[in-house]
Homo-oligomer: A and B are copies of this chain.
Amino acid sequence: MERMTIIDIAKMCGVGVTTVSRAMNNHPDISEETKAMIMKVIKENHYVPNNSARNLKRSASKTIAVLIKGITNPFFNHMIKVFEQEIQRKKYSFFLQRVDENQDEIEVAIELEKEKRLKGIVFLGGYFSHSQEKLNQLTVPFVLSTIGMTEEFDLNNYSSVSVDDFKESYRMVDYLCNQGHTKIAIITAAMDDVSIGKLRYEGYKQALKDNGIDYNAQLVWCMKENIESYTMENGYTVTKEMLETKEEFTAIYAISDNLAVGACRAIIEAGKRVPEDYSVAGFDGLDISFYYNPSLTTMKQPVVEMAEETIKILFDLINKKITHSHKIFPAELIVRESTRSLL
């Protein structure tokens, strides 16, 4: 039987799990009104916190949870499939939990861990800027998969699988520079981003610098905050605005293929051509980068290998073969039709 978790209650109430926990524990730091609302939902749903001795006894189930931010991102589809297969091959059961963009995935994980007696956790995608203190509250092994870490964490305290987002982004922009582009616009994450968005943006800046090109803030465009991030729609909307300015540029580097697809469409609608008028480069290596017209120059992440390695590390941690591991995969620069040389 599927028991309700504190996460379900939190979602129903539209609050965080910590707030639900406070309500249940008579914590002073919560308004009476909020507490009453939460307790009403708890009562209506017959929710019982799952920490009694009876439940501890029944903890034999071997479950691995995958917490994913942004399930609509096609980048994750192949990875989820591999996770499911590999976890089942190990005779564990697989539990997929979506985390909303505004939810704190560590809080969610801490509660899931208690409720579901997890044996391991994979954090997939999204931002990750939690305090070491908070990470330490996780008591089962976990692996951060395709998450950019920009904060300074002690590498001995966690495991990860990713590409080097800074370096691979640098390589893409360096490639464009080598093709004679000096006016390269970027579509990137918000400036307060602390994950892959920041790393890819820093790679862009460094590549320009090393190629002797002055940084021009007019060519830096952030995704719209009122549109889902990393979508074709976002790239399209940003590029339409970009084309309306007087600022000159010869190339657009979008930090994901979806954004690049949107950028191409905006250029084509403006009566311009890719790559004749503007070169467009993406990142990720999604299927669509091959099938789009023109096909997209991109930096392909080896998603299947990365997913397999994530599970391998997780089970090495569970079986205490290792204490931590950081695996960085190389990405592959694939030059296709959407970029051209100016030389």
Q: Which residues of A pack against B, CB within 8 Å?
A: 1-4, 8, 11-12, 41, 44-46, 50, 55, 58-63, 71-72, 74, 77-78, 80-81, 84, 88, 91, 93, 95-96, 98, 115-118, 231-233, 236, 261-262, 264-265, 268, 287-288, 290-295
In the complex, what residues of B have CB within 8 A of residue A93's CB?
Answer: 2, 4, 8, 11-12, 45
Do A95 and B293 have beta carbons less than 8 Å apart? no
**Can you list 7 A-B contacts (CB < 8 A)?**
A1-B58, A8-B93, A72-B74, A72-B81, A231-B287, A232-B287, A265-B293
Do A71 and B61 have beta carbons less than 8 Å apart? no
In the complex, what residues of B have CB within 8 A of residue A60's CB?
Answer: 45-46
A117 nearest CB neighbor, chain B only: B1
Task: Please give the distance in Å from A59's CB to the nearest CB on chain B.
Answer: 6
Task: Please give the distance in Å from A10's CB to the nearest CB on chain B.
Answer: 10
Do B2 and A291 have beta carbons less than 8 Å apart? no
In the complex, what residues of B have CB within 8 A of residue A118's CB?
Answer: 2
Do A88 and B12 have beta carbons less than 8 Å apart? yes
Do A1 and B116 have beta carbons less than 8 Å apart? yes
Q: With A and B bound together, what is the CA distance between A265 and B44 in angstroms?
A: 54
Do A232 and B291 have beta carbons less than 8 Å apart? yes
Q: With A and B bound together, what is the CA distance between A80 and B68 in angstroms?
A: 14
Do A88 and B11 have beta carbons less than 8 Å apart? yes
A228 nearest CB neighbor, chain B only: B81
Q: With A and B bound together, what is the CA distance between A295 and B291 in angstroms?
A: 13
A261 nearest CB neighbor, chain B only: B291
- Other A-B contacts than A1-B59, A2-B116, A45-B93, 15 sampled, CB-CB below 8 A, are A1-B61, A2-B63, A2-B93, A3-B58, A3-B61, A4-B63, A11-B88, A46-B60, A72-B81, A84-B98, A96-B96, A231-B287, A232-B291, A265-B292, A292-B292
Q: With A and B bound together, what is the CA distance between A165 and B262 in angstroms?
A: 29
Q: With A233-B287, A293-B264 given, is the CB distance from A61 to B45 under 8 Å?
A: yes
Q: With A and B bound together, what is the CA distance between A59 and B48 in angstroms?
A: 12
Q: With A and B bound together, what is the CA distance between A96 and B116 in angstroms?
A: 16
Q: With A and B bound together, what is the CA distance between A58 and B48 in angstroms?
A: 10
Q: With A and B bound together, what is the CA distance between A8 and B91 in angstroms?
A: 9
A265 nearest CB neighbor, chain B only: B291
Q: With A and B bound together, what is the CA distance between A118 and B1 in angstroms?
A: 8
Task: Please give the distance in Å from A233's CB to the nearest CB on chain B.
Answer: 7
Q: With A80-B71, A268-B293 given, is the CB distance from A4 to B288 under 8 Å?
A: no
